Amino acid sequence: MNCQRVQESFLDYQDGALSPADASAVREHLKTCLGCQREWAGLQEISLKLDRLPPVAPSPRLRAQFYAMLETHRRAADSRSPFVAMRSRLDRFFSALLPARPALQFALACGLLAAGLLFGARYLRPTLDPATEKRIAELQNKVDSMAPLVTYSVLQQKSTTERLRIVLATLNLKQNDQQVVSGLLASLAFDPSVNVRLSALEALYPRADQPAVRSAVTASLPREPSPLVQVTMIDFLAATRDPAAFATIEGISRNQNYDQAVREAARRALAQL
């Protein structure tokens, strides 16, 4: 041990807190080192003087003042309103019930939140009264019935080529989707392009077995401006042999306002029907 380490160990040496080996090393060093002997003697002396300092005692004033303060505090506590006392009891109750460590408090809060969410999801589904449910069903029907119109409106945003492509695409659809049929009938009734209307009619051929399709084509026929499409519609209705179309086609065959070719087509169809 060098002098610095020995002197740093003096406090522990004095307190008897050094290991026996270290204490023995300090003792050996002190036997031979005059500087450390002086240092040790000085520390011993000042420590002894500190220990021999006479005790200090407070005057009786301190005790009197303390108990006066305690008394004041107790009176204030006794005169608290019942509400405050109850609140204090409640505080004590909850502080006894809840964990004191912040980490546990956080865990408990998370647990309660999760439990609340689970409970709410399982037992607190919103229930509707019959009147509201009925109203919602009505709105649903309205929305459903608006679907073809919406589809058609969306279609109208596109170019003729695109509309044609969409209508032709329905030719390949095997399923008899009500929405597809509604779209095709809307195109037939409202599309400004002859080509699109013709394609829509062609696409409706595989669905001609549906009475709704036949009656829609029959209803569109008098409003159709193009003789080419009128002829194709009459051929369509003749092919379906729908007796309901008879009156409409007969009217056309007699009406001079229609194109010659149209009236001839109507007469051919009447023969078929």
Partner 1 sequence: MVESVLPAVDSPSDHELMIAVRAGEIDKLGDLFERHHRPLYGFFVRHTGDRTASEDLVQLVFYRILKYRHTYRDEGRFSAWIYHLARKVAADHFRRNSTAPHATDPDDLHTVPDEAPDAADRAVRTDDTERLQAALAALDPDQRELLVLARFQHLKHEEIARLFELSVGAVKVRAHRALKELRDIYFKLSREPAA
Residue closer to partner 1 (CB basis): 28 or 71: 71
CB of 4: closest distance to partner 1 in angstroms?
Answer: 11
- x/- letters, 10..49, toward partner 1 (CB under 8 A): xxx-----------------------------xx-xxx-x
CB of 60: closest distance to partner 1 in angstroms?
Answer: 10
Residue closer to partner 1 (CB basis): 68 or 112: 68
Among 5, 38, 73, 134, binds partner 1 (CB under 8 A): 73
Using rule CB under 8 A, residue 52 touches partner 1: yes
> How many CB atoms neighbour CB 210 within 10 A?
15
Among 5, 27, 74, 254, binds partner 1 (CB under 8 A): 74
Map residue 124 onto helix, strand or coil: coil
220 within 8 A of 188, measured Cβ to Cβ: yes
Of the CA atoms within 13 Å of residue 246, those in its CB half-sphere come to 7
- Residues 27, 31, 32, 35, CA torsion sign: positive
Distances (CA, A) of 251 to 4, 240, 256: 128, 18, 10
Residue closer to partner 1 (CB basis): 58 or 243: 58
In whole angstroms, give the CA distance from residue 222 to residue 214: 14
What's phi and psi for 167, nearest 5 deg?
-65, -40
Length of the chain: 273
> How many CB atoms neighbour CB 18 within 10 A?
18
Among 2, 4, 19, 59, binds partner 1 (CB under 8 A): 59
Among 50, 131, 247, 271, binds partner 1 (CB under 8 A): 50
Burial group, residue 39, by CB count within 10 angstroms (0-12, 13-18, 19+): middle
Interaction residues for partner 1, span 100-119 (CB under 8 A):
100
Element (H, E) at 259: none
Among 3, 5, 70, 160, binds partner 1 (CB under 8 A): 70
The rounded Cα 112 to chain-centroid distance in angstroms is: 21
- Of 53-61, 105-113, 119-127, 216-224, the segment contacting partner 1 by CB under 8 A is 53-61
CB of 45: closest distance to partner 1 in angstroms?
Answer: 7
- Residues lying near partner 1 in the complex (CB under 8 A) are found at 7-8, 10-12, 42-43, 45-47, 49-59, 61-63, 65-67, 69-70, 73-74, 77, 88, 92, 100
